[in-house]
Structure 1
């Protein structure tokens, strides 16, 4: 299987899990990758021919059993490597993605299982994404965004999107997983909100607020 095909399977799996819906539209895939609709349509046809995805006209695509197994295998390897690289080699969560991407494609399943046990059977990667177990089961995934909170809510960050610029943005402001933010003000017109963190009030752009996931308390 080509690496590009593997990346499609992973994305379809991730979007399906994150959005809790069985079908992912081609334009969602195109938007996530930054590809044209035509290139996505062509790749989907290839994956259908290989019996890795199923396509329903005007509805979207879903993984076949074979495609789902492949996606889980790669995502499991990727996230285990992310934990290892950040925990053991102290590589920043900003920089870990590309190395984990290369290592996931070069690792045997036996090596991944040894790493998994060595790390203490981690349930989540450094970005808060659940790591599938050997049977493909995952722990609960945070889907509520900071953007969906109201003024006065307290929001605990449980997951962030794995985008380098976002992670840099968070690091510069000292924001990390398991941190509680109190929503002080929401200004939809100007596209930002203000949160209180450790006694300090910080502005967060509306775009970033859609990339932080967690749980809230009123």
Structure 2
């Protein structure tokens, strides 16, 4: 039996994607966008508390997001979204909501946060939009 040549490890698929942001960066950007909707300045301490990380980790990640042009951030200041950061952040919130609705529907419960957090980074936009279309037919 000849092994198929189109299979990779998870790491291999990640390397093929050549994405500019990591899963962790997506988590931070999603939370920044969520907090941005509350229309108040976002401080590193608040971001760290929401993600259950140390402020130093949140500060470092804000710097990484800044270097990608997704947020504005000065040390000891507030974090705000750039236009690109807002656009990507809104998609990340949309993806999260679609997947949460989907998993709650198929598992017949009201809280699938952990499962969504574990899989959302591996879903491509086409699949997310198709799940949304499917959900709109059945819910």
Q: What TM-score bracket applies, with the shorter chain setting the length?
A: 0.7 to 0.9
Matched, 1:64 2:75: no
Q: TM-score, normalised by structure 2?
A: 0.74
Question: How far did residue 39 of structure 1 move?
Answer: 1.8
Question: Which residue in the other structure is 2:119 paired with?
Answer: 103
Question: Which residue in the other structure is 2:39 paired with?
Answer: 20
Question: Which residue in the other structure is 2:63 paired with?
Answer: 45
Pairwise CA RMSD of aligned residues?
2.1
Matched, 1:93 2:110: yes
Higher relative contact order (CA 8 A, sep 6+): 2
Question: Which residue in the other structure is 2:17 paired with?
Answer: none
**Distance between the aligned counterparts of 1:110 and 1:30, measured in 2?**
31
**Distance between the aligned counterparts of 1:77 and 1:36, measured in 2?**
26
Task: Give the total of aligned pairs.
Answer: 118
Cα contact 1:77–1:112 (8 A) shared by 2: yes
Residue of 64, 69, 76 corresponding to 2:94? 76
Question: How far did residue 120 of structure 1 move?
Answer: 1.5
Question: How far did residue 92 of structure 1 move?
Answer: 2.2
Residue of 22, 30, 47 corresponding to 1:2? 22
- Higher strand content, 1 or 2: 1
Question: Which residue in the other structure is 2:13 paired with?
Answer: none
Question: How far did residue 37 of structure 1 move?
Answer: 2.0
Question: How far did residue 52 of structure 1 move?
Answer: 1.1
Question: How far did residue 33 of structure 1 move?
Answer: 2.0
Runs of 4+ residues over 3 Å off in structure 1:
56-59
**Distance between the aligned counterparts of 2:137 and 2:87, measured in 1?**
20
Q: Structure 2: 5+ residue runs without aligned partners?
A: 1-20
Question: How far did residue 48 of structure 1 move?
Answer: 1.0
Q: Structure 1: 5+ residue runs without aligned partners?
A: 123-218
Deviation digits for residues 187-214 of structure 1 (CA, Å, limit 9, x no counterpart):
xxxxxxxxxxxxxxxxxxxxxxxxxxxx
Q: Cα distance 1:28–1:119, how it changes in 2: closer, same or farther (>3 A)?
A: same
